Amino acid sequence: DAGSKSGRGALVVLEGLDRSGKSSQCARLLSYLEGQGCRAEGWRFPDRGTCVGQMISAYLANESQLDDRTIHLLFSANRWEKRALMESKLLGGTTLIVDRYSYSGVAFSAAKGLDIQWCKAPDVGLIAPDLVIYLDVQPEKAAERGGYGGERYEKIEFQKRVADHYHSLRDSTWKVVDGSLPMETVEEQLRELATNCIQECQEKPLTNLTW
Ligand code: NYM
Ligand code: MG
């Protein structure tokens, strides 16, 4: 079993538009893995618990105004401040299921019109995910799901631009899952993808994000 080997944990990232089902699926996947005896933790970005995270949270709630590049760099800094802990967890054998990562950083900022290469640059050197699962839901469908919570970016026209940018970021580590399928079907697909990934990357070294 995975727990008795000395292999590292996997870095599994879920990405998608707001209301695509990421948070629910992360929770379901985590409890499944734990039930299988796998050491795993659920993380999310932004991590609103840090000082940087509180600045981000105030910005998203429209309680503060920040220049587009400034907030972009804060989102990146919020990942950098967690990099060391992330590395030690992974090397210690804990799998991390992460709700949003650098792809959100690029897709949301690029949707404002910022240069894509500029958006990618500050995240170079963060730990590269072993698997990125993109929950694919049409922006119109996502908006129907109980509507948006009133945070910045939660507008259908904006989300359409975000979806286009996500599309152009897809690489070989991405698996696209149809997020409009029934929750249980999506859950089943995520279990299989994550389980395979955890097995395959046990002996692989960690690598850095290079885009
Ligand atoms: N977001 C998230 C960004 O704009 N850049 C980032 O780097 C990250 C991680 O924050 N609309 C945006 C996407 C979401 C918002 O995320 C808050 P959540 O998952 O709703 O808490
Ligand atoms: Mg949200």
| Closest ligand 1 atom, residue 23 Cα | 19
Angle at 196 between CA 195 and CA 199, to 5 degrees: 90
Q: How far is CA 155 from the centre of its chain?
A: 20
**From the CA of 200, how far away is ligand 1's center (Å)?**
29
**From the CA of 118, how far away is ligand 2's center (Å)?**
24
User: Using CA of residue 196, residue 202, residue 205, residue 206, what is the dihedral sign?
Assistant: positive
Tens-digit pLDDT profile for the chain (211 aa)?
Answer: 444 456 999 999 999 999 999 999 999 999 999 999 999 999 999 999 999 999 999 999 999 999 999 999 999 999 999 999 999 999 999 999 999 999 999 999 999 999 999 999 999 999 999 999 999 999 999 999 988 889 999 999 999 999 999 999 999 999 999 999 999 999 999 999 999 999 999 999 999 999 9
Residue entry with tokens 């995910």: 129
Give buried/exposed letters for 26-46 (b at 16+ CB in 10 A, else e): bebbbebbeeeebebebbbbb
Nearest CA to ligand 1 atom 2: 104
Which among 18, 68, 100 is the best mutation to test ligand 1's pocket, defined by most ligand atoms within 8 Å of the CB? 100
Cα–Cα distance between 55 and 74 in angstroms, integer?
A: 8
Q: Is ipTM beyond 0.85? A: yes
